[in-house]
Amino acid sequence: MTIYDQIGGQPVIKTATTVFYGRVTGDDALTQWFGGVDISRLRAHQRAFLAAALDGPQLFTGLDLGEAHSAMAITDDAFTRVVAHLVTTLQDLGVADAILTEVELRLEILRAQIVTA
């Protein structure tokens, strides 16, 4: 069974993405990256990305992660905060600790592609 299935599939991904962006956009340390961004569009994009990253449906058709984030000057702290918000969101939705650890590990692998500052 995939991580995607273990966390509850698309319904949990959809809920998690909505809650996650509420947290991220409410975090004063992250607002510089989300001001003026179409959050509805970003949520849809993130749902597809998370599904793919967690071995669910491969519907992600966005830019390469490095390319998509290259001009944003994302810091290590910002990356860490975003991952923490996602993990906390999934935890609040009842995802088991072992799965949360796997999600964190998968996201940590992406740090070098996203952090540019």
DSSP-derived letter for residue 62 is S
Q: Give the largest Cα separation in the chain, rounded.
A: 38
Residues of the chain with pLDDT below 70 are: 59-60, 62-63
Q: Which fold has domain 3-114?
A: Globin-like (1.10.490)
The one-letter code for the residue type at 10 is: Q
The radius of gyration of the chain's CA atoms, rounded to the nearest angstrom, is 13
All structural domains of the chain with their residue ranges: 3-114
pTM of the model: 0.88
Provide the pLDDT for residue 69.
Answer: 77
Give the 3-state secondary structure of residue 45: helix
Select from 83, 91, 86 the least CA-distant residue to 114.
Answer: 83
The one-letter code for the residue type at 103 is: V
Tens of pLDDT along 100-111?
A: 999 999 999 989
Provide the pLDDT for residue 13.
Answer: 93
